Amino acid sequence: MAQTAKHKKNGVVAKKLVGLADLVITAAQRSKDPTLAIPIRALSNVAFNERKGMIEMGHKKQARSFFNIGMAKKFMQTILVADALSELQRAALTTSLREIYYRTKHTIQDSHENTFDTQDESDPIIEDLEVSLAALREELHVRAENGGSIVGPLVLEDDGDRVDCAKLGKGGYSVPSIVEPGYVDIRRCTADFVLLVEKGTQWNRLSEDKFWRRYNCVLLTGNGQPPRGVRRLARRLHEDYRLPVYVLVDNDP
């Protein structure tokens, strides 16, 4: 059932990407200026939702049009990246942020102008598409490197494989960048709490000492500033299993 939901979501995302192309084609057929509405990713457009306990993006958007000289290049970059992401959807392949940059970088014919000069230009475009299409980066088939580890009395199902986090040695399970249901499912958790450790070296010490077994907890780290997968997994354990989450950090406000 979870895999079915995952495939259904992939189909929705693919249609949204094609919808961007349809928008441009329709505007061209009507001799109109092709324009994309991009949600503004700034502090001025976010608010804290007390009921959900999270910061949410507001409804303010910025028009990105092709006939505006100041926006033309960014409009082109957005469509170029969207095309690359759509190609990944059709091929059922996944790639990295870096590879998207290389896929879309080239010199425009009969000019000395590059589509992208650095990856700092392409990464924000992917973030723009995430919020515009209401899809996670990983649902666009772009993955970040695994950036955390977890060990303890927890059983997961990752892409059909059963993962017992109590039987993976001191290194634990490498937390992927997406841990949403259908990608990573929690099958069993008998822990009393989650201990989220900031530093990877401290997590290693606690894991080697089997701290999690002695105190019956899930031991989790993001190796510094925790990536989205680690933060989301901690939240899922808190919400789905009502586990308190304690955080061990250094004294550096």
- Active site positions, annotated: 102
Strand segments, DSSP code E, in the chain are 35-39, 46-49, 54-57, 61-65, 95-96, 142-143, 149-151, 154-158, 161-164, 173-174, 184-189, 193-197, 217-221, 245-248
Our measurement of the distance from residue 147's CA atom to the centroid of its chain's CA atoms, rounded to an integer in Å, reads 12
Any residues with CB less than 8 A from the CB of 6 and at least 6 apart, and which? 182, 183
CA–CA separation, 25 vs 79, rounded Å? 12
Q: Decide: 221 and 248 in contact? Cβ < 8 Å.
A: no
Which residues, in sequence order, are bridge partners of residue 155?
A: 164, 188
Tell me which long-range contacts 245-251 makes (C-beta under 8 A, separation of at least 24): 245/193, 245/194, 245/196, 246/193, 246/194, 246/195, 246/196, 247/195, 247/196, 247/197, 247/198, 248/195, 248/196, 248/197, 248/198, 248/202, 249/198, 250/198, 250/199
Instruction: Show Cβ contacts of residue 121 under 8 Å, excluding neighbours closer than 6 positions.
Output: 77
Nearest CA to 138 among 78, 186, 181, 196?
181
